[in-house]
Structure 1
Amino acid sequence: MELPGAVTVQRVALLVAFVLSVVAVYLADRPSGRWARALRRRFLFGVPWGSVVTVVGVLAVYLFVQGGLQHWYRPLTIPFRAWSYFYPLGVVTAAFAHNGPGHLVGNLVATAAFAPLAEYAWGHFPRGRGTTSFGSWRTNPYVRAFVVFPAAVFVVGLLTAAFALGPIIGFSGVVFAFAGFALVNYPFSTVVALVASRVVRVVYNAVQTPQLTASGHPAYVTPWWADIAIQGHAFGLFLGVLLGLAVVRNRAPEARPSALRLWTGTILFGVQQSMWAIYWYRGGETYVLYRAVGVALVALLAVVVTVTVVGSDRVALRDTLGGAFAVRPWQAGAACLILVAAVISGPAVPYNLYTANDDDLPGAEIDVRDYEVTYAENVTNGMTAAFEISALGETTAVKTAGVIVRSRDRGIWTTAVTKGRLAFDGQVPVLVGGPGWRETVFAVRDGWVATHGDTAYRVFLSHRGTARVVYTSDPARAGPVVGGRNISIDPAPQGYYVRVERDNESVTTRLPAENGTATLDGLTFVREERKLFVEYGETRLRIAKRERYE
């Protein structure tokens, strides 16, 4: 009889531990149906059906629209981003599509944590006295659970995509709207839900990988805060807060959360969710983080939200012409929230009115239906060069380098793989396509690193078994001078060459094959596996080596 492995034992032990924990809590609390009755007071049959429909819908987009069912780890993403208003498909799908399984699971777990709280605050059964649940479609619990709530989620998703600054993808803007709605109604429960979602992620990762062995190794990473769609998150949060305000302000003052609880909950949520991570893309894979400004803005946000929710109904400001105009504290707070939401979303309107330019792409390209794929360096981003915005000393007209994908029909122009990423990995697949189809173009780099010099390299694009060189770098000159001669490695579409320069004259020869030799201008070049040596008299130096990739 074969005994289960250590990994299986650890998974079982983890699940047993959690089951025993739940049973222990149940026996200690002995709810006697109290939990179910509390849920049934607000939910149809005690189930947050709107949240369930939302989770199923987002999962369905990943599986059937993006192709995640057949390609779980490599979903199609480029055609489902919100590129511009001239590409409606992207605007409609962006909020519900995801980059990969980690992105998807993270947003679904957060949805399961925050959406039921928001749905509970709104409720399937109206709270107004004398209101009949089945009196109209507005109060019908089935309509509220299965139609109104999912429809509101869809609209919020469209808004977060339509007013996003840049080609966003992911449900996180809607997740933040759920959190904002829940936060103004149940601030501490929202913080608990935030912690609970982190716990679920840890448990999920522990079940997937019960035991992990790791060691130091090189990795290509960008700053973690540069991967946060902070503008989309903030806009979603403000939408949720404003929608939640309509619910919480209809309650009696004593039923609203206290100022301390709301301020504390907002601060904890904002800091934990990195709402302070305000950054700017400078170009060339360089980012600027304005940490102090971001933390200050989170503190101000907490104050405004608190005043808006718990502010008095007494008039705080009245005009001098007979009181025709009066402002209450909570109204001033709400106006401030609306103004900030407009400021956050406003820049996205002119940005999304632009599309991919029609200029010729630099270098050779591969065509895949309506897509053009190429590689270039030090070119202006085709989606941002159409207009100029400057703020805090930064600009949107940035230079970029890497694998470029463009579709004139879809208004797409993007650096799908950066130069640094390709130099690190050596080969990266680029997925293009649309609803019902997908194609893969492989970007491949090879190169030679000159001793004490730069790297000479080429970039290939391969599609359906056909490869072509679309980019060659400048020659790389080696540091050592041998016999008064400078030595360079020259890349060319057909291969690599060795160049020897002396007295303003140069000669070249093809780089020797593996374990081969070549003689040029009195120098002998010897290639041993991945290294290239030069011999001159009794001198032997390594002059270059093949570039390695992780």
Structure 2
Amino acid sequence: MASPFDGWPIRVAIPVGLVVSLLVVWALDRPNGRWSARLRKRFLLGVPWGTLVSVTFVVGVYLFVQHGWEHWRNPVTVAFASWSYLYPLGVVLGPFSHAGPGHLLGNVTSTLAVAPLAEYYVGHYPTRRGEQSFGSWRTNPWLRAFVVFPLGVGVVGLCTSLFAWGPIIGFSGVLFAFIGFALVRYPLGTVVALSAQGVVQTVYQALQNPLVVQGASASYSKPWWFGIAVQGHALGFFLGVVAGLLVLRFRDRATPPALRTWTGTLLVATSLSLWALWWYRGVETYVLFRGLGIVFVLALATLVTFAVRTHDATSFGPGARQAGTVLVFVPLIVMAGVAAPVNLTTVQGDGNVEGATGVQVRDYTVLYAEDVPNQKVSVVDVSVGGETTSVDTSGVIVVNEGREVWTREVTKGQLAFAGRRAVRVGGVGWAETVFARRIGWSAVGGGAAYQVWLRPADDGWRHAYASDPATADPVVAGMNVSIVPADDPRKNPFRLRLTNGSTTVASRPLPTANVTVSAEGVQFTRENDVVYARVDDTRVRVAKKESYN
């Protein structure tokens, strides 16, 4: 039965309600009209054109370069991350590409909320005494709105790609630069703008799905903080603060009170998880340095407050102003110094994993392997505080030596949960999909035995991996029962093996549904997806076929 709270009527009601609300506000404020006059004073026709041009470009990259138009929820990502200085395409497009629709939506809505505040700080019209609009190209409001501001966004994006530690993908570095830039002049206004981001995103989601009905279900998830590019966010933030200080100094404006700047910085840095410092710890295990992250955020708020406040020429001398600027430059210099050796990397050897069988898609190799060194994380092996940069990884791995790509795109746990996953590879102008599939059996109390296959979109399945055997806990007629991946998985992927100590007593193909096989006086019967072992009148369950979500 259709609900009155779903479909086009409610989708129309949302924008109509928004327009009506804004009209009421405009009517109440009409006697003085200060807010609209302020917008027209700083913006061409009162519109933040530079923000809109930048967002349009980012969305265009997702739709047409990453092939998001064809596969909205599964764009090509491996070709458009900043893997290395030796891969210029990734360095240029990484800051403007995204890993998926949620990633894109979060960055775009946040940018629409806070970037206009940063653009308002810059303005489309000259503010120095004696300067007039259209007096030169630098004072031309059309160029400032449609060229200069978007060009500045592009430069900041390239800086986040060049000087962040390790590969990045996403516009969030530029977003944090907007935030740092706006905080210098409007600290509490930035807090309010970021709060508005939640409203923008909620309205968008309401237009997409006005009615949501959902029940409890199993899911596979990593920690929420896994994958946050804190180093890229921090770099963008410092770039924005430095740019904001330069504009402040150029225009010789009064600075906000110290308490206001400190409060705004602390609230923004905490709410945007700049404290979420994390690292890998083995296969699918990660560590969050929450305490250290809070200390970092407090130091960040203090540093920004000092740098901004000392730019007040009426309260502090030139020496204090220079000290404040230098202190903010120090983190940028340190990050750039670390980034150079980290990002000037190459895939070790030919990037392939010894013993692994993969499929070839043009210049990409897609393979499955377990407990192999991550050849991109462990560029330089460093151990600090018990943590190390040399870690092992397991899952579906994508290798492209020419593009400096070596990345695990699907974890072992994700494939075990879903049973089947798709990996998109490609480049500018082309994209293809490789499917990964896992079939396995769980031995009662003894883990799982499984096989993994890979298949390009235009070809058949190819066997890629066989796990170790899994031994069930029950002992049957004095023998252990194991599920063993078969040597020839095309006929029957698994066998039953009976062992006495280290000696193999018997081996039989795993029975098909509702079939019984016998070995050494033991009858093995498969009932649907469960295998039972029977000796005389005793029957025990020894294995169950894996089920996936």
TM-score by length of 1: 0.94
The answer for the alignment partner of 2:297 in structure 1 is: 298
How do 1:386-397 residues align onto structure 2 when only pairs under 5 Å count? 386-397=379-390
Partners of 2:460 and 2:392 in 1: CA distance: 30
| CA deviation after TM superposition for structure 1 residue 507, in Å | 1.6
The answer for the alignment partner of 1:138 in structure 2 is: 138
The answer for the alignment partner of 2:58 in structure 1 is: 58
Judge which range, 510-519 or 41-50, deviates more: 41-50
Q: Could you tell me which amino acid in structure 2 is paired with residue 181 of structure 1?
A: F
Judge which range, 475-484 or 338-347, deviates more: 338-347
Partners of 1:261 and 1:515 in 2: CA distance: 73
Uncovered stretches (5+) of structure 2, i.e. residues with no partner:
none
1:241 equivalent to 2:235? Answer no
The answer for the alignment partner of 2:497 in structure 1 is: 499
The answer for the alignment partner of 2:516 in structure 1 is: 517
Residue 367 of structure 2, aligned match among 374, 389, 404: 374
The answer for the alignment partner of 2:206 in structure 1 is: 206
| CA deviation after TM superposition for structure 1 residue 393, in Å | 2.3
Partners of 2:78 and 2:362 in 1: CA distance: 14
SS of alignment partner, residue 281 of structure 2: strand
Partners of 1:135 and 1:14 in 2: CA distance: 44
| CA deviation after TM superposition for structure 1 residue 50, in Å | 1.1
Residue 342 to residue 199, structure 1, CA distance change in 2 (3 Å): same
Judge which range, 329-338 or 385-394, deviates more: 385-394
| CA deviation after TM superposition for structure 1 residue 468, in Å | 1.3
Partners of 1:327 and 1:460 in 2: CA distance: 67
**Residues 177 and 241 in structure 2, CA contact (< 8 A), matched pair in contact too:** yes
Residue 107 to residue 314, structure 1, CA distance change in 2 (3 Å): closer
Partners of 2:331 and 2:315 in 1: CA distance: 21
Q: Could you tell me which amino acid in structure 2 is paired with residue 311 of structure 1?
A: T
Residue 4 to residue 364, structure 1, CA distance change in 2 (3 Å): closer
| CA deviation after TM superposition for structure 1 residue 391, in Å | 2.6
Judge which range, 403-412 or 29-38, deviates more: 29-38
State how many pairs are aligned: 540
Q: Could you tell me which amino acid in structure 1 is paired with residue 349 of structure 2?
A: D
Q: Could you tell me which amino acid in structure 2 is paired with residue 476 of structure 1?
A: A
**Residues 490 and 498 in structure 1, CA contact (< 8 A), matched pair in contact too:** yes
Residue 406 of structure 2, aligned match among 401, 413, 434: 413
Judge which range, 129-138 or 471-480, deviates more: 129-138
How do 1:148-547 residues align onto structure 2 when only pairs under 5 Å count? 148-252=148-252, 255-311=254-310, 328-359=319-350, 360-362=352-354, 363-463=356-456, 464-492=458-486, 493-494=488-489, 495-502=493-500, 504-547=503-546
| CA deviation after TM superposition for structure 1 residue 327, in Å | 6.6
**Residues 311 and 324 in structure 2, CA contact (< 8 A), matched pair in contact too:** no
SS of alignment partner, residue 372 of structure 1: strand
Q: Quote the RMSD (CA, aligned, Å).
A: 2.1
The answer for the alignment partner of 1:26 in structure 2 is: 26
Partners of 2:328 and 2:31 in 1: CA distance: 40
Residue 31 to residue 214, structure 1, CA distance change in 2 (3 Å): farther
Partners of 2:412 and 2:157 in 1: CA distance: 32
Residue 472 to residue 43, structure 1, CA distance change in 2 (3 Å): same
Partners of 1:389 and 1:91 in 2: CA distance: 25
How do 1:39-50 residues align onto structure 2 when only pairs under 5 Å count? 39-50=39-50
Uncovered stretches (5+) of structure 1, i.e. residues with no partner:
318-325
| CA deviation after TM superposition for structure 1 residue 544, in Å | 0.1
Partners of 1:4 and 1:218 in 2: CA distance: 27
| CA deviation after TM superposition for structure 1 residue 33, in Å | 4.6
Q: Could you tell me which amino acid in structure 2 is paired with residue 358 of structure 1?
A: G
Q: Could you tell me which amino acid in structure 1 is paired with residue 52 of structure 2?
A: V
Judge which range, 78-87 or 217-226, deviates more: 217-226
Partners of 2:481 and 2:189 in 1: CA distance: 68
Partners of 2:546 and 2:2 in 1: CA distance: 46
Partners of 1:316 and 1:180 in 2: CA distance: 23
Identity %: 50
TM-score by length of 2: 0.94
| CA deviation after TM superposition for structure 1 residue 126, in Å | 1.4
Judge which range, 511-520 or 205-214, deviates more: 205-214
Q: Could you tell me which amino acid in structure 2 is paired with residue 334 of structure 1?
A: T
Residue 316 to residue 202, structure 1, CA distance change in 2 (3 Å): closer
**Residues 42 and 123 in structure 1, CA contact (< 8 A), matched pair in contact too:** yes
Judge which range, 517-526 or 388-397, deviates more: 388-397
Residue 485 to residue 156, structure 1, CA distance change in 2 (3 Å): same
**Residues 315 and 329 in structure 1, CA contact (< 8 A), matched pair in contact too:** no
**Residues 113 and 196 in structure 1, CA contact (< 8 A), matched pair in contact too:** yes
| CA deviation after TM superposition for structure 1 residue 387, in Å | 2.3
Residue 248 to residue 204, structure 1, CA distance change in 2 (3 Å): same
**Residues 314 and 328 in structure 1, CA contact (< 8 A), matched pair in contact too:** no
**Residues 383 and 414 in structure 1, CA contact (< 8 A), matched pair in contact too:** yes
Partners of 1:101 and 1:440 in 2: CA distance: 18
Partners of 1:143 and 1:166 in 2: CA distance: 35
The answer for the alignment partner of 1:322 in structure 2 is: none
**Residues 313 and 328 in structure 1, CA contact (< 8 A), matched pair in contact too:** no
Q: Could you tell me which amino acid in structure 1 is paired with residue 537 of structure 2?
A: E
Partners of 2:61 and 2:175 in 1: CA distance: 16
Partners of 2:129 and 2:482 in 1: CA distance: 85
**Residues 315 and 327 in structure 1, CA contact (< 8 A), matched pair in contact too:** no
| CA deviation after TM superposition for structure 1 residue 519, in Å | 0.7
